[in-house]
């Protein structure tokens, strides 16, 4: 019985690790998809299924009024050119991590656990072309930090190309 219990605990632990990692790593030569963002950092890699916000209207709406979001989901904000990107959480009901990236997809800042409904300005800094919003606390749990790299078809001259 001890051996069977040990096996069950090991399998449960492995399953929990996969779930905690959030997402299965993508193959290195995978084709980029419009509905996915991949992020890699030393020691890890994750893929998020995203909605793209690439118009003024969709960027203004963002993830407002959502009561939940799947662990492996997010929203990718795409700007026409690099800029100072600022956000707030008005009408946003779930905590979010905001991952700011430059034109090459390199992460320049991570704002963790933005507070739902908070009107305080969240400043991503200058030179931001992409912002990935994911569930609050997930970036830290996965290890996503400044210097990580994102890839998506909209990133031209990426630090991490779609096909290697």
Give me 25's structure tokens. 């790593």
Output helix, strand, coil percentages for the chain, rounded to the nearest 5: 20, 35, 45
Question: Cβ of 162: how many Cβ atoms within 10 Å?
Answer: 15
Q: Are 112 and 139 in contact (CB under 8 A)?
A: yes
Residue 106 domain flag = yes
pLDDT over 80 at 35, yes or no: yes
Answer yes or no: is 109 within a domain: yes
3 found inside a domain: no
What are the C-alpha distances in Å from 130 to residues 53, 73, 102, 151? 10, 16, 6, 10
Number of structural domains in the chain = 1
Q: Is residue 147 part of a domain?
A: yes
Task: Report whether pLDDT(159) > 50.
Answer: yes
Question: Which residue segment(s) compose the domain that 34 sits in?
Answer: 24-151
Assigned domain for 13 exists = no
Band (157; pLDDT cuts 50, 70, 90)? very high
Residue 60 has pLDDT above 60, yes or no: yes
pLDDT at position 31, please? 80
87 in any annotated domain = yes
Q: What is the CATH number of the domain that holds 75?
A: 2.60.120.1140
In a domain, 19, yes or no: no
**1 domain residue, yes or no:** no
Contact 153, 162 (CB under 8 A): yes
Question: What pLDDT band is residue 26 in, cutting at 50, 70 and 90?
Answer: very low
């Amino acid at each position: 019985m001890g051996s069977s219990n040990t096996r069950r605990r090991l399998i449960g632990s492995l399953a929990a690790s996969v779930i905690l990692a959030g997402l299965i790593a993508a193959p290195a030569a995978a084709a980029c998809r419009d509905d996915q963002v991949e992020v890699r950092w030393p020691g890890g890699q994750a893929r998020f299924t995203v909605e793209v916000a690439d118009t003024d209207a969709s960027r203004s709406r963002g993830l407002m009024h959502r009561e939940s979001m799947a662990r492996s989901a997010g929203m990718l904000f795409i700007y026409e050119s690099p800029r100072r990107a600022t956000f707030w959480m008005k009408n946003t009901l779930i905590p979010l991590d905001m991952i700011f990236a430059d034109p090459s997809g390199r992460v320049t800042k991570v704002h963790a656990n933005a507070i739902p409904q908070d009107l305080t300005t969240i400043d991503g800094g200058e030179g931001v072309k992409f912002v990935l919003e994911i569930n609050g606390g997930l970036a830290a749990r996965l290890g996503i930090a400044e210097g990580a790299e994102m890839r998506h078809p909209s990133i031209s001259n990426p630090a991490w190309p779609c096909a290697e």
